[in-house]
Amino acid sequence: MSKETGHSDHIPGTFVFTGKRSAKGLKLNKFAYSLAKAENREAFGKDPVAYMDTFGLSDWEKQKIIEKDVKALVEEGGGSIYMLIKIGAVTGDGLASMGAQQRGETLEEFMATRNVPLKQNT
């Protein structure tokens, strides 16, 4: 039982979204959640840093968002993949790209592992 997460993270490559992680990532996830609104997507697209600052994100969070480092945001930042995926609605990244990055693969490498590589990638 991990003291930090209050949950056994025993499944390799898996970071269970516990309450502790949710608490840690609350600002980050709130920023991403906000992108479900069209006017917020526009504001983020226009001036990413200014928009992220309205959510009080840390320098580390802003950097990882700009670098599209979903792996770090999930593993260290308490990001929920269900919220982070909304960032892609602005940056153009699909779920498969975010997945490939988390696996340490290129999108092409990842797609080659799939039964049927679908066009719709969320």
Site for other proteins (CB under 8 A): which residue of 22, 58, 63, 106? 22
CB 102 within 8 A of CB 73: no
Q: Rounded to the nearest 5 degrees, what angle is found at the Cα of 15, between the Cα atoms of 68 and 2?
A: 135
For residues 31 and 40, what is the distance between their CA atoms, to the nearest angstrom?
9
For residues 32 and 81, what is the distance between their CA atoms, to the nearest angstrom?
10
Site for other proteins (CB under 8 A): which residue of 53, 60, 66, 82? 82
Q: Is 118 in the site for other proteins (CB under 8 A)?
A: yes
For residues 110 and 73, what is the distance between their CA atoms, to the nearest angstrom?
20
Q: Is 108 in the site for other proteins (CB under 8 A)?
A: no
Only segment of 45-53, 54-62, 88-96 that touches other proteins (CB under 8 A):
88-96
Contact positions vs other proteins (CB under 8 A) = 6-8, 10-20, 22-23, 26, 29-30, 32-33, 35-38, 41, 71, 74-75, 80-83, 85-86, 88-89, 95-96, 98-100, 102-104, 110, 113-122
